[in-house]
Amino acid sequence: MLTTKLKYLVPDTVVTRAVAILVAALFAVHLAGYWAYQTGATAIADSARDRALAERLVSIKRAISNIPNPADRDKAAHALSSSSLEVHWSQISLVIGNAPLTERAKATADRLKELVPDLAAEAFRIGFADDGAIASGEAEAYRHMLLISVRLDDQSWVNFSTPRLGTVHPLDPKLLALALCVVIVIIVIAALLLAWVTRPLRELATAAERFSLDTKPELLDETGPLEVRRAARAFNTMRQRIQRLVAERTQALAAVSHDLRTPITRVRLRSEMLDDAVMRDLIGSDLAEMEEMIESTLEFLKFGESTETKRLVNLASIAETIVDDATDAGRKVSYHGADNVTVMGQHLALKRAASNLIGNALKYATTVRVEIRSIDGYAELAVSDDGPGIPKESLETIFDPFVRLETSRSKETGGVGLGLTIARSIARAHGGDAVLINNPSGGLSAKLRLPLSTTAAISRTEATCI
């Protein structure tokens, strides 16, 4: 659920993914940098602390050894103590002499001798409180208490105890704010650069979405990175191949249709010589159907190659003309809606689309209602009928080429299954669409939606033709 919401709020684009990768990389780099900073700062601080401790051990031992009076020695030891180093003088060692030297204690002793070579000449014992030193106790504080006993010439001991807690170096808020500002600046610059780099990809996607056979192919600019240029070049080549393939196929079919008309004409002439009128009519009907199939197929294949220019077209006037012609032919069809709905498009193509939808309804219904209205910036031509309708599962497949539903369409109704296909192709070429909807009260509604022209003047008057 959360992933779905994130996908809805954040677009899944190349820029978004690249910025996400960049943010993750910057976070990892800053985390590694902070770890390196902490490690380096801790090492420097520990080295300085151990050096100071070793130097103090040597200097305090020398100072106390020069005091002859035992009582004065203990007072001097207390006086030389500090908050981080407690000093005592005693006749016995605080570190047990026969206690085994642990790895931790040995490493600490070697480090102190390395930092202050003078300490190597001194006789001293070293250990941690929890390693078995005197008065170690069970308290947690003793776990990190370093104990050192340095022997004097008179066999007495100067005992030192100091905590060995790790050093924590908090991050300066100013440095954190500066790092955050740097990250933001880097992300903004990277997002702008990525948007600039990926612009050819967006142009390629736009060109692919707008690709249509009814427009003259314009080569896509082959700019940007090498991969994008290769993709643009491949797209240009693909588009040219498609245009050439469609043109060659259309020309071949046009030649075939032209050649077919000659034998069809001969058969029609010979059929007129038959004495049997019934047979003559049957042959004539079959020949007429063949000619219609040829014409419809060619029209479908040639769609997209029209040279007609786009202009302002009154869709209402087209619908009214088609309705008037159907009414004159004795069909029960009516027009309702605006008398002026202007769209930008090809007049003949739009008339063909509207004629196909209205003619399709007239084939399978007795009463047809045509209505035009404006909805959300679109002009909608709705053709409703009282016919048998179409099964729900076939509302989309009926738009496929050469598809005819046997349950509601027969040979007597004519057609080769291209009327709706051509209507939808024309609508989509104009930025709209064509859909079919079964009416709740029965019958079918075919809707042609086209973008309204910005100069459309729609007057909501109603005209009816019966």
Domain of 264, CATH number, reads: 1.10.287.130
Residue 172 token pair: 């300066």
pLDDT value at position 435?
Answer: 92
Mean residue pLDDT of the chain comes to: 77
316: nearest Cα among 376, 267, 382, 367: 382
* CB atoms inside a 10 Å sphere around CB 24: 10
Give tens-digit pLDDT for 313-366.
Answer: 999 999 999 999 999 888 899 999 888 888 998 888 899 899 989 988 888 888
- Which tokens belong to 161? 């105890």
Query: Are residue 158 and residue 24 in the same domain, yes or no?
Result: yes
Instruction: Give the burial class of 408: count Cβ atoms within 10 A of its Cβ; 0-12 exposed, 13-18 middle, 19 or more buried.
Output: middle
pLDDT 10s digit of each residue in the chain, 466 long?
445 554 555 566 777 777 788 888 888 887 887 778 777 777 787 778 778 888 888 888 888 888 888 778 888 888 888 878 888 888 888 777 665 667 777 787 887 877 777 766 667 778 777 654 444 444 444 456 788 888 888 888 888 888 876 555 566 677 778 878 888 888 888 888 877 877 777 777 777 777 766 556 677 777 777 777 888 888 888 888 887 887 777 777 777 777 777 888 888 888 888 888 888 888 888 888 777 777 766 666 665 555 678 889 999 999 999 999 999 888 899 999 888 888 998 888 899 899 989 988 888 888 999 999 888 889 999 999 998 888 888 888 888 877 776 544 444 555 567 788 888 888 988 889 999 999 888 889 999 999 987 654 444 333 333 3
Same domain, 268 and 343: no
Examine the fold and report which residue of 302, 335, 366 is the final residue of a domain before the chain moves on.
302
Task: Tell me which of 248, 275, 302 is where a domain ends.
Answer: 302
CATH code, domain with 367: 3.30.565.10
Q: Which residue has the tokens 């931790």?
A: 104
Q: Does some domain include residue 232?
A: yes
pLDDT at 193: 81
Nearest to 232 by CA among 205, 193, 271: 205
Q: Which domain holds residue 266?
A: 226-302
Residues 386 and 410 in one domain: yes
> At what angle are helices 419-429 and 277-302 packed, to 10 degrees?
20
Which residue in this structure is represented by tokens 């009327």? 419
Domain assignment of residue 267, yes or no: yes
Bridge partners (DSSP) of residue 334 are 369
Is 143 in the same domain as 273? no
- Closest C-alpha among 103, 82, 49 to residue 161: 82
Per-state percent for the chain, helix, strand, coil, to nearest 5 = 55, 15, 30
Are 386 and 443 contacting, i.e. CB atoms less than 8 angstroms apart? yes
Q: Shortest CA distance to 189 belongs to which of 360, 15, 41, 50? A: 15
Do residues 43 and 26 share a domain? yes
- Look at the alpha carbons of 8, 12, 13, 14 in this order and tell me if their dihedral is positive or negative: positive
Q: Are residues 431 and 328 located together in one domain of the fold?
A: yes
Distances (CA, A) of 291 to 78, 207, 259, 287, 299: 122, 38, 12, 6, 12
> What is residue 183's predicted lDDT score, i.e. its pLDDT?
80
Q: Is residue 100 part of a domain?
A: yes
Total of domains in the chain: 3
Structural domain includes residue 338: yes
For residue 276, give the amino acid letter.
Answer: D
* Shared domain check, 115 and 148: yes
Residue 84 lies in a domain: yes
Burial class for 393, CB neighbours closer than 10 Å (0-12, 13-18, 19+):
exposed
* Residues 126 and 259 reside in one and the same domain: no
Residue 459 has which token pair? Answer: 């007057």
Q: Which of 302, 334, 365 is the last residue of a domain?
A: 302
156 with 28, same domain: the answer is: yes
Give residue-wise pLDDT tens across range 432-456.
999 999 988 888 999 999 998 765 4
Measured distance CA(400)–CA(420) in Å, rounded: 8
Q: Is 157 contained in some domain?
A: yes
What pLDDT is recorded for position 147? Answer: 83
On whether residue 390 sits in a domain, the answer given is: yes
Q: Provide the pLDDT for residue 380.
A: 92
Tokens at residue 74, please?
A: 């203990």
Q: How far apart are CA 412 and CA 289, in angstroms?
A: 10
158 Cβ partners below 8 Å, 6+ apart? 60, 61, 64, 77, 87, 88, 89, 149, 150, 152
Domain match, 28 and 75 both: yes
Residues 277 and 319 in one domain: no
pLDDT by residue (tens digit) across 47-76? 787 788 888 888 888 888 888 887 788 888
385 and 429 housed in the same domain: yes
Question: 333-363 burial, b for 16+ CB within 10 Å, e for fewer?
Answer: bbbbbbbebbbbbbbebbbbbbbbbbbbbbb
- Assess if residue 184 is contained within a domain: no
